[in-house]
Each structure stands twice: as C-alpha cells, then as structure tokens.
Amino acid sequence: MQPDTTSDDDREGIIDAAYGCLSEPHSGPIPVAAILSRAGVSTRAFYRHFASKDELFLAMLRQESDALAERLDRIADDASADPVAALKAWIEQMFGLAHDLRLRTHFMVLDSDEVRAAKGYREARERSHVDRERSLAAILRRGRDTGSFPLTDPELDAVAISAVVSRRMTTLSSDDPRQLQRVQAGVLDFALRALGADRR
C-alpha cells in the first residue's frame, strides 16, 4: 500500500481500478477491498474520496456523463454551424461512444447490474439523459428558428431522437465501420424526415 494522500491521483486511481474490476469476468459483487488492492490505496484513502461503493459508482457515472454532455454542448454552442450539420455532428458524437473501445467499456460497466443497483443510480442516469438532450434541443430550436426544422417540437423531438440513437447503438458491431456509417445515416435520415427538413 502507498501512503494515504488526498490527491486527485488517488481518486482517479480508484475509479480506474473500479472500471478494471467491473469489466473483468467475476461472480457476485466486487468488494471494495478488491478495488483498493488494484488501485494500491488504503481504506482510509478510499473514504476520503467516497462515502461508499455506491457513491463511487455514481461518481463514475457522473464523470462519463458530464464529459459527454460537455462534448455535445460544444456542438450545440457553435452558433455558426448549420443546424443540419450540427444535428449530424451530435448524432456522430453519440455513435462515437460505440466506436471508442475505452468509452464503450466504461459505458458497459456503468450499465452493469452491480452499478445499476447503486442507491441514486436511477436519478443520476435520468440527469445524464436530460443533460445530453439539452444540447440536442438547443440544436433543434435553432433549426426551428432558421426554418431548417419547421416541424420540430424541440424538447419532445430531442427525447425521441436520443432514444432512437440509444436503441440503435445497442445493435452495433463495433468492428464494422460500414455498419456504423449506415446506422448513423439511417438515424439522421429518420430525424430529418421527422423534423420536416428539406432533404434535397
């Protein structure tokens, strides 16, 4: 064991160790001791950063959700971008999760039964959906205001498009970039038709 510190390195090390433990085949819940052993930190160091294993899992979910929301917000905040191009970029960013091995592994861990059983998980997951749909709704509002998306109800359509993206991501084979391109194009086409966009 390394000496106790309150450094961010300890916190990140614990999070990385939790991802490692949860992504490997195992039976039953992962004990905190296994995470600490992998991270090379003491119990005291763990409790300086997290009140419980559930809090660790929620911190992992928040970290990934906030990072994704930040990337999506940057797309929505680019006022110079054509709304159709911004919608395409938003969809591509979401599908990028399925293509990036590290992110895909992280999100698979965050969707595991053990993490989903954490107290507060449902609320944290709902917040992450709201955060990512916020950026999409902003793109759709801009499209409505410019006439690019004349049929949109931005908040409702953001929820619907986000749900279609999530559902289609579960059917992807990460090893086939052509399938990824086809699925992305299909989702974009569905969204543009639903929004009343001129697709000429």
pLDDT digits (tens, 9 = 90+) for 49-76: 999 999 999 999 999 999 999 999 999 9
- pLDDT 10s digits, 85-128: 999 999 999 988 877 788 888 988 999 999 999 999 999 999 99
**What's the mean per-residue pLDDT of the chain?**
91
CATH code for the structural domain at 1-50: 1.10.10
pLDDT given at position 200: 62
Report d(CA 27, CA 181) in Å as an integer: 36
The domains of the chain are located at 1-50, 53-195
pLDDT digits (tens, 9 = 90+) for 14-41: 999 999 999 998 888 999 999 999 999 9
Where are the alpha helices (H) located in the chain, listed in sequence order? Answer: 8-23, 32-39, 43-49, 53-77, 83-99, 101-110, 113-116, 121-146, 154-169, 177-195
Structure confidence by residue, pLDDT tens digits, 144-197: 999 999 999 999 999 999 999 989 987 776 667 888 889 999 999 999 999 999
pTM for this prediction: 0.85
- Is domain 53-195 in CATH 1.10.357.10, yes or no? yes
Closest CA to 47 of 2, 9, 14: 14
> Is the fold of 1-50 the same as that of 53-195?
no
